[in-house]
A = this chain, B = another copy of it.
Amino acid sequence: MGRPSKKQERTEEILQAFQRCVARFGLEGSSLERIAEEAGLQRSLVRHFVGNRDDLIAMLADRVIAQSDAQWSAFLEILPPQGAVEALLEGLFHEATSDPEFVLVIESLIFASSQKPELQQLMQQWLKRFTDDVTGIIARDFPQNSAEDLSAVAFGIVSLYFNLDSLAPIGLNDQYREPAYKAAQRLINSLSN
């Protein structure tokens, strides 16, 4: 009964438009006006489907985190049972050409975390999953090391990877990718066995 709802697709379109806007103008700079224009919809429709900008931000965060998790999970699936660490480094520093727009959105969310407690919690958990997974992978290949050493190495690798993304706006990504990879290798080599 009644007209079929386009809420799903419309919401998707709007969120994609929002994502593009955030990458270009930042969270604060993305007015509903701009988002609507970017999505090719009327502002009223944006309001109708997703509410005000705070609602939008919450939805965007969920979406982005889910997307990131999905990518990450898919990546983990591919890792070989043994020699996983080597494949991990290859994947993180050589193959992975993360979408700059996506990176900017995540940066924005991280940045906005300091103002939005709910968001901060989401990002905390997101980061923790990431580092814990990396620690786990390393632990499997290098079981003889203490948890402390493993965490340190894992955090180092995550930092190297994240830093490439964080500094992406500066535009030196290509220049620093190789040093980052080498540094990660050195961290791994510093483990026993």
Contacts and interface: CB of A to CB of B under 8 A. Distances in A.
A4 interface: no
Main secondary structure on A side of the interface with B = helix
Interface in A88-111: 100, 104, 107-108, 110-111
Interface stretch (A9-17, A68-76, A159-167): A159-167
Interface residues of A, number: 52
Contacts of A184: 156
A184 B183 CA distance: 10
Contact of A152 (B113, B148, B179): B179
A182 B180 CA distance: 17
Contacts of A25: 28
A166 to B, nearest CB: 4
A40 interface: no
Contact of A159 (B26, B104, B160): B160
Interface stretch (A43-51, A57-65, A77-85, A119-127): A119-127
Interface of A: 24-29, 100, 104, 107-108, 110-115, 120, 123-124, 127, 148-149, 151-156, 158-160, 162-164, 166-172, 176, 178-180, 182-184, 186-187, 189-190
